[in-house]
Each structure stands twice: as structure tokens, then as C-alpha cells.
Amino acid sequence: MNVQQLFDTLFSLFRNGKKIHIFYVEKRLRFGKYHVLHLDDCELLPDESGRVEIGRGNDVDTILTQANQEYENVKLCQECCESDKPKLKA
């Protein structure tokens, strides 16, 4: 990561007083059927070689729609992307 990418990342984390999350999609299919969408701080997030950054924001539905345009059959990670989890509302 170069200095500009680091600055952009830090700046994007807090825009308009809300934390901006970075979302990733697993490259591999789970059970040969679907990809999984994760937040950047998810305990189940694969290492860098096993994931692709799909977008930034705090609206899971928008990011999920974007992910499904790029990958077939993307599902939310049950650990980090449940809409009732308070960290997504922050």
C-alpha cells in the first residue's frame, strides 16, 4: 500500500461522521454454490489472496447488489453482515 492509498483509506473510514466499511467477497465458492460477502474486520475474512475488495460504504444492501453484479450468487456472512448488528449502523 502506498502513501496515497493509505491516506485515502484513512480518510474514507470516517466520512460525514459515519464509519465507512470496506467489504470483500470471497474468491472461492462455498460448497460450490455461492460467494460470501464480509466486512473488513470479520473474523472469518480470508487472507488477501482469497478475497477481492468489492466496495466501501455502510449500506449492506447496496454493496450486496454491487457484489451480485460482479459475482453470481453472493450471500452475506452470518458473522459480520447481519443487518441487525450495531456495528453496521455506526
pLDDT per position as a tens digit, 40-56 = 999 999 999 999 999 98
pTM for this model (two decimals): 0.73
Output 16 or 25, whichever has higher pLDDT.
Answer: 25
Q: Rounded mean pLDDT of the chain?
A: 82
pLDDT per position as a tens digit, 78-90 = 989 875 554 554 4
Query: How many structural domains does the chain have?
Result: 1
Question: What stretch of H or E contains 12?
Answer: helix 3-13
Instruction: Give the residue numbers spanning the domain of 60.
Output: 3-89
Angstrom distance (rounded) from CA 60 to CA 68? 12
Cell numbers for 58, please give them: 455502510
Angstrom distance (rounded) from CA 83 to CA 89? 8
Task: Name the band, by pLDDT with cuts 50, 70 and 90, for residue 2.
Answer: low
Model confidence at 14: pLDDT above 70 = no
